[in-house]
């Protein structure tokens, strides 16, 4: 496990790559018909808000797979429910604290892990209900087989931008007692 601060050899190149991804997302939110920003508000949309890119919140970690993944039911923001398999957990050091975060997989998606989380930034700097991190297999794997969890890519669920969306709530086992000041912050009011 590492917090490889020289991702691709240079912290500045890493930060530039994160900013480029964010610009692309801003363009999608401002122009695309499937944007969570209502079309009536897209013309005035000036971009999402983010913490500055910080390689300290990019982790390479093994997925400790559960022997018998439990199927869980996750409540949603509109009193619905969705099912996920709790396939394993990542163990990462966040600012000197050992943190365990559970990884889930939708029964209909065999390649993507969903890592929803709440942390001590929620409500003050970030969306109160928590944020999400998607981890793709094999795209987000290192040569050693570790997964890349880059919290600089943490994002708000679409329901943070529009009540038209129904979003799964973060399971309590991923309510973290640390701050993760990385990724998206609160949207503009």
| pLDDT by position in tens, the chain (length 189) | 444 444 445 889 999 999 999 999 999 999 999 999 988 899 999 999 999 999 999 999 999 999 999 999 999 999 999 999 999 999 999 999 999 999 999 998 888 999 999 999 999 999 999 999 999 876 667 778 889 999 999 999 999 999 899 999 999 999 999 999 999 999 876
Which are the contacts of 119, defined by CB distance < 8 A and separation ≥ 6? Answer: 126, 130, 176, 178, 179, 180
d(CA 142, CA 59): 11
Of how many residues is the chain composed?
Answer: 189
Residue ranges of domains in the chain: 7-174
Phi, psi for 163 (deg, rounded to 5) = -70, -5
Sign of CA dihedral 149, 154, 157, 158: negative
pTM of the model: 0.89
* Residue 97 token pair: 């604290």
Distance CA 77, CA 167 (A): 5
The answer to whether residues 106 and 21 touch, using CB atoms and an 8 Å cutoff, is: no
Question: At which residue do the structure tokens 């570790």 appear?
Answer: 146
- DSSP secondary structure, 134-186, as one string: EEETTTTB-TTSPEEEEGGG-B--GGGT-TT---BPPPGGGB-SS----SB-P
């Amino acid at each position: 496990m590492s917090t490889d601060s020289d991702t691709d050899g240079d912290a500045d190149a890493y930060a530039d790559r994160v900013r480029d991804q964010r610009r692309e997302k801003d363009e999608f939110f401002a122009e695309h018909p499937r944007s969570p920003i209502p079309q009536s508000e897209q013309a005035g949309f000036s971009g999402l808000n983010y913490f500055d890119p910080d390689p300290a919140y990019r982790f390479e970690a093994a997925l400790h797979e559960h022997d018998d993944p439990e199927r869980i039911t996750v409540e949603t923001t509109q009193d619905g429910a969705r099912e996920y398999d709790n396939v394993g957990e990542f163990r990462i050091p966040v600012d000197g604290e050992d943190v365990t975060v559970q990884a889930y997989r939708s029964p209909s998606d065999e390649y993507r892990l969903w890592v929803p989380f709440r942390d001590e930034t929620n409500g003050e700097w970030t969306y109160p209900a928590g944020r999400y991190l998607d981890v793709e297999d094999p795209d987000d794997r290192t040569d050693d087989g570790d997964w890349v969890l880059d919290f600089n890519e943490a994002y708000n669920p679409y329901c943070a931008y529009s009540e038209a969306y129904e979003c799964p709530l973060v399971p309590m086992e991923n309510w973290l007692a640390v701050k993760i000041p990385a990724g998206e912050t609160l949207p503009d009011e």
